Amino acid sequence: MSLTKVEQLFNAKLTQLQQQGISKGNEKIITGRRAPTDGFGSRYFLEGCVDQAFLRMNSNSYLGLTGHSGLIKAEAEAAEKFGTGPGAVRFISGTYRPHVELEKKLAEFHGREAAMIMSAAYATMIGVLPQFISDETLIVSDALNHNCIINAIRLSHPVRKEVYAHADVDALERILDANKGQIRRVCVVTDGIFSMRGDHAALDRISACCRRHEAGYDEGIITVVDDSHGVGAFGRTGRGTEEYTGGKADILIATLGKAFGVNGGYVVASSAVIAYLRETAPLYIYSNPITPAEAAAAMAALDIADSPEGMHLLEKLRSLSARLRAGLIRLGFETLPDEHPIVPILIRDTEKTTALVEHLFTHQILATGLNYPVVPKGEQEIRLQVSADHTEKDMDYLLAVLAEFKQ
């Protein structure tokens, strides 16, 4: 047996990606962190970049909790008590008290009856969505939904799939109206916050639309929302897109690995739905959960989010995001209006996007360029992500560096 023949195909594909300018390339390895100083936020050191300290504008840790002493203490104490790993999947012997307590706290945080944690939000969507799709189900998806939703749909076997133009609730309405009497069940799935743009789904309008048409389907309409970028970072108290819009999903999926600064994914819903998923979702049944220590750290993060400290972090996050957006507009860059800490710079050209990422890097700023096919052609962008760990001086430094770039 040999890999020689297939490796030739793999190498050709890698070369093609590089020539198209969409290869992700070598991963940057973080070797250390410098604490905030002189009015600036944390800085990070990279392997191969001696004595250079980088401003990190591409982290999902929106509340800046990854280095919070309360989370570190909770995780360390739980690791001492329970060990470093669960040792088994949940139904064999991998369920620990912190897992159960975290699920209860997540359900309460979202005003739901029950919750179920999994290894990651991506795994949650892949494991959960197909369980709501039968061969008599129509699945309806936003055109800019995350890759996890796209792949979860591929693993499902719906009778039909429809995709509506991004955020076009009128198009969703037409789809639901046209399929009445032909389909038994509908599953409408969307991101809450769209991770490439930082804009949000109109969950209030989507929910109302689905209610208007539900009587036309024998098994109803199920709404599934992945709000991994919204929960903890969006809405008055960090409850995400549901709180911001006033809409509510039947099934809400989110992550512990972004605003909450830990690791893992979860789903919240009714008790009946969660009981059903524990018996049917393969990535729950056959995969180890997050560690008991991670669960303990996540509980500490939820406590912070629901405290005056958490409200202060959210307010700081909104203020810094607004400062950055206003500065980009002042400099003549194109961005999108919203309140989320994802602040895109729409470049709309692959070469210019790559050049701006390199310009930022030479000035010790880490930012992510998104090119086709990650985003549609003409939508190439730099995704800047604000954190409560940043400061006003960080935003001003970033804007000063951007002002030097020749568009």
Instruction: Indicate if 312 belongs to the active site.
Output: no
Instruction: Indicate if 229 belongs to the active site.
Output: yes
Q: Closest Cα partner for 393 from 12, 81, 71, 38?
A: 38
The residue ranges of DSSP E strands in 97-184, in sequence order, are: 114-118, 137-142, 160-164
The gap between the terminal CA atoms of the chain, to the nearest Å, is 52
Q: Which of 42, 61, 195, 387 is catalytic?
A: 195
Q: Which of 99, 110, 146, 229 is catalytic?
A: 229
The CA-atom distances, in angstroms, between 150 and each of 139, 154, 241 are: 11, 6, 20
Integer-rounded Cα Rg, in Å, for the chain is 22
Q: Closest Cα partner for 159 from 140, 138, 178?
A: 138
CB count within 10 Å of CB 148 equals: 22
What are the DSSP calls for 25-40, one per residue?
-SPPPEEEEE--BTTB
81 secondary structure, DSSP code = H
| Whole-number Å distance between alpha carbons of 31 and 47 | 6
Instruction: Indicate if 307 belongs to the active site.
Output: no
Torsional sign, CA 247, 262, 145, 281: negative
Give counts: helices (H), strands (E), the chain: 14, 14
Q: Is residue 382 within 8 Å of residue 336, measured between CB atoms?
A: no
| Whole-number Å distance between alpha carbons of 350 and 56 | 22
Q: Which of 146, 200, 258, 390 is catalytic?
A: 258
Residues with catalytic function: 195, 229, 258
